[in-house]
């Protein structure tokens, strides 16, 4: 189980991986903890070939490491919960604020910046009846300068 209060790092709760690792290096570091995504999920600037799971503060999350199309290196880790319970959002927000200080943003998306990485806590509306909670970690160097 991951405790945000104790385990916040550049990639929270996944100390076996580091920013800039290749897909092969991440697969090796997380052997037995991840499975393939078929077909590979593709996004504007990244792709996600694998996923795993983690428990953060007692809540289950799907974990999706994403790799840059341009470099093939780890550029983001998405922790996605199946729902967006108010209690879970409040707890995550409080813990991230305690670790990183006050966030920037509003009610559905807040961003905290640490020394090497930023984290976004976002409520994503999937349909009129379903929301998901997303925690996105990414290195600051990739967000500076636009």
pTM: predicted TM-score of the whole model, two decimal places: 0.81
Mean pLDDT computed over 36-45: 95
Across 43-108, the runs of DSSP E, i.e. the strands, are 46-56, 59-68, 74-81, 104-105
**Pairwise CA distance, residues 66 & 136, whole Å:** 10
pLDDT at 87 over 80: yes
Report the range of poorest mean pLDDT among 49-53, 65-69, 87-91.
87-91
Question: For residue 35, what pLDDT is reported?
Answer: 96
Q: What is the 8-class DSSP label of residue 130? A: E
Q: What is the 8-class DSSP label of residue 69? A: T
Check: CB of residue 77 under 8 Å from CB of residue 42.
no
Sheet holding 130-139, edge to edge: 34-42, 46-56, 59-68, 74-81, 130-139, 117-127, 109-113, 104-105
- For the chain, domains (ranges, CATH) are 4-142 (3.40.1000)
Mean pLDDT computed over 44-50: 96
């Amino acid at each position: 189980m991951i405790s945000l209060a104790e385990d916040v790092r550049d990639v929270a709760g996944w100390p076996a991986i580091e920013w800039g690792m290749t897909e092969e290096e991440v697969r090796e570091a997380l052997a037995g903890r991840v499975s393939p995504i078929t077909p590979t999920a593709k996004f504007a600037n990244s792709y996600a070939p694998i996923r795993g799971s983690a428990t953060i503060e007692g809540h289950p999350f799907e974990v999706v490491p994403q790799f840059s199309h341009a470099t093939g290196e780890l550029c983001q880790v998405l922790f996605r919960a199946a729902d967006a319970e108010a209690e879970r959002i409040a707890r995550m927000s409080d813990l991230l604020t305690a670790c990183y200080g006050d966030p920037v943003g509003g009610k559905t998306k807040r961003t905290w910046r640490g020394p090497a990485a930023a984290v976004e806590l976002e409520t994503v509306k999937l349909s009129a009846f379903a929301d998901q909670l997303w925690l996105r970690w990414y290195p600051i160097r990739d967000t500076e300068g636009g």
